[in-house]
Structure 1
Amino acid sequence: MSATSLEFLDYLRDVRRLSPHTLSNYRRDLVSLEQWCQQRDISDPGDLVEADIRGWVSYLHRRGLAGNSIQRSLSACRALFDYLGRHHGLPSNPARGVRAPRSPRKLPRTLDVDQVNRFLSTGDDDALVLRDLAMAELLYSSGLRLSELVAANIEDYDRSAGLITVTGKGSKTRTLPVGSMAAQAIERWLVLRAPAAEDSAGTHPLFTSSRGRRISQRSVQQRLRLLGRRGGMDRDVHPHMLRHSFASHMLESSGDLRAVQELLGHANIATTQIYTHLDFQHLAKVYDNAHPRARRSARSDEEET
């Protein structure tokens, strides 16, 4: 990578304090831009103009990248040129007016309430299963991201108040309620959790592996998939599916989009609005099944017979 890009990534890590995952994405996107420039003998980012950025976007699109992925690449590109403008005097941002091609919006996969209850009703006294149930209950109860669940420490959980404080994207913290079923599941797990378990930083992770170390994201994904199979689920259950289900059920019951936005930790309410489409799908299904005129094709079939 160029010295300028490395300087920018250091800024994102040390000043903006972005997560390693986000930094990895930024690095990948900037490498893609630099490789595209090298193929065209462009060595200085300051030489790029809007037409060049559009050419890069077209190149990404031809390679089959989805609109969302291209939008993320553009975000990294814009952020780099903003940084160069502030710290190196670049006069303009050539990526500012470029937009990614739109791609069909995929609705998140969720479980209905009965499926959630079946998934969380696995009965077992095994310590690891009780831990898995506690993690699943907390994901669904409070709408946590996988990274937030894994990073949670015992001291973040206020047992008396029924609250947990987590650190989300952009190092932003928020405090969330923990439902009674999740609280009970966590208490059952804490009785069995190794009391001396701590990570290399000296903190005390809320959820630990069988070796007493902080559980990894990969392990949580595998254990929830196994929990679902043991419970006879007809699909694999992953952590984000429980977060999506939390959001969908909360919005369906309350109708309070702003509250759900706060609980999920979304910076932009447009991100939360996708769950209104899920609720509309439910209403449309009810309509199709219940309204006499919506079942016209079925009636026509009966008349023909």
Structure 2
Amino acid sequence: RFLKAKREVWKPSTLKAIQIYLNSSILPALGDQAINRLTTSDIAEWFYAYSTTSPGGANQALSHLRSMLKFARESGVLPPDAPDPSKPIRRNTRRARGRLLNAQQLAQLGAWLEAPPIRWRDVADAIRLILLTGCRSGEIARLTWAEVGSDKLSLSSTKTGKRDVVLSHLALALLDRRKRGASSVFVFPHQANPAKPIASIDAAWRAIRPLVGLAKDIRLHDLRHTYASHAIMIGETLNMAGKLLGHKRPKTTEIYAHMDARHLAKAADRVGDLIANWLG
């Protein structure tokens, strides 16, 4: 029932991952217990046993379980005021993988993006758009012109479902330039077959990275971290940064329910201007 209800909200790959956690961990350990009789002790025993072999996997499975318990309360399977037996469980702490590109690194990257080899011009634009929007690389690689609006991207398929991305004036200028003479439905079409999206930006990034002079452990996804980090460094709140990135955590969503789109646009412009200044 939970998975069925989420089919119109989450991507198939997300649903598949949850199904794997259900089949491999949650159901074997807790499936014989009625949901209204599930106790903190039951969950703790399962979680800490799982954590001994895979701390990160245990964290992910716990998040999925909490989503299911929340759904049970919202859908009437459990009373709406039923206590959450998973609430006292503390997640395993993990060192953040994200890296922040500093001003010097952004300047190095910016110099390369200004004059890339012909074969990497599309990739260079895609990388710049990731930096200016905070989007995931896959979201930019699959971006279609139908998803590009006058002031925002209306993404039809992301890690957390459909979402809008407010565009800064610099991101809009990049998209306007690419729109001129475009014949493919994709903003970044495959060079050999324009009916398909560009080949993996991540693979190109690994080839480009040493040419730019960036460390081997700087991932393409770190451009997304850079966008968020610099948003916070110029005074945006953690919640605003989360909104710009399209995070779907309930507390963040509740806080932003009243947020004016013009406020988001101004924040996007400030972050875009800062990053563009460092890119050169």
TM-score, normalised via structure 2 length: 0.71
Contact 1:139–1:149 under 8 Å retained in 2: yes
Gapped regions of structure 2 (runs ≥ 5): 253-280
Relative to structure 1, the CA distance from residue 96 to residue 65 in structure 2 (aligned partners, 3 Å threshold; closer, same or farther) is: closer
- Please give the residue correspondences for 1:102-181 in structure 2 after superposition, counting only pairs within 5 Å: 102-106=92-96, 108-122=98-112, 123-126=115-118, 128-158=119-149, 163-166=152-155, 168=158, 170-180=160-170
- Please give the residue correspondences for 1:17-56 in structure 2 after superposition, counting only pairs within 5 Å: 17-31=9-23, 32-37=25-30, 42=32, 48-56=38-46
Relative to structure 1, the CA distance from residue 163 to residue 51 in structure 2 (aligned partners, 3 Å threshold; closer, same or farther) is: closer
**Displacement of 1:139 after TM fit?**
0.6
Could you say what the CA RMSD is over the residues aligned between the two structures, in angstroms? 3.3
Relative to structure 1, the CA distance from residue 97 to residue 45 in structure 2 (aligned partners, 3 Å threshold; closer, same or farther) is: same
Give the distance between the partners of 2:215 and 2:160, measured in 1 at CA.
35
Task: Give the secondary-structure state (helix, strand or coil) at the position aligned to 1:225.
Answer: helix
Show CA shifts across 1:57-115 (max 9, x none): 1111122313xx43331222233344455667456566343413441442621211221
Give the distance between the partners of 1:28 and 1:228, measured in 2 at CA.
34
2:228 aligned to which of 247, 250, 254: 247
TM-score, normalised via structure 1 length: 0.66
**Displacement of 1:165 after TM fit?**
3.8
2:5 aligned to which of 2, 6, 11: 11
Letter in 2 for 1:9: L
Contact 2:126–2:141 under 8 Å retained in 1: no
Relative to structure 1, the CA distance from residue 184 to residue 34 in structure 2 (aligned partners, 3 Å threshold; closer, same or farther) is: same
1:235 aligned to which of 196, 216, 236: 216
Letter in 2 for 1:255: G
In the other structure, the counterpart of 2:275 is: none
Number of residue pairs aligned between Structure 1 and Structure 2: 243
Show CA shifts across 1:214-237 (max 9, x none): 236xx1211122222232323354
Task: Using CA pairs under 8 Å that are at least 6 residues apart, name the structure with larger relative contact order, 1 or 2.
Answer: 2
Show CA shifts across 1:144-200 (max 9, x none): 123432342113334xx56544455543532422453x556556655686x1x3xxx
Give the distance between the partners of 1:206 and 1:177, measured in 2 at CA.
15
Relative to structure 1, the CA distance from residue 132 to residue 179 in structure 2 (aligned partners, 3 Å threshold; closer, same or farther) is: farther
Give the distance between the partners of 1:138 and 1:261, measured in 2 at CA.
18
Give the distance between the partners of 1:10 and 1:61, measured in 2 at CA.
28
Gapped regions of structure 1 (runs ≥ 5): 1-6, 198-203, 272-305
In the other structure, the counterpart of 1:287 is: none
Instruction: Work out which of the two has the higher radius of gyration on C-alpha atoms and give 1 or 2.
Output: 1
In the other structure, the counterpart of 2:262 is: none
Relative to structure 1, the CA distance from residue 237 to residue 190 in structure 2 (aligned partners, 3 Å threshold; closer, same or farther) is: farther
More displaced, 52-61 or 149-158?
A: 149-158
Relative to structure 1, the CA distance from residue 186 to residue 233 in structure 2 (aligned partners, 3 Å threshold; closer, same or farther) is: farther
Contact 1:71–1:99 under 8 Å retained in 2: no
Show CA shifts across 1:11-46 (max 9, x none): 2214xx1122321332222121122247xxx37556
- Give % identity: 20
Give the distance between the partners of 2:94 and 2:105, measured in 1 at CA.
27
Task: Give the secondary-structure state (helix, strand or coil) at the position aligned to 1:121.
Answer: helix
Relative to structure 1, the CA distance from residue 20 to residue 98 in structure 2 (aligned partners, 3 Å threshold; closer, same or farther) is: farther
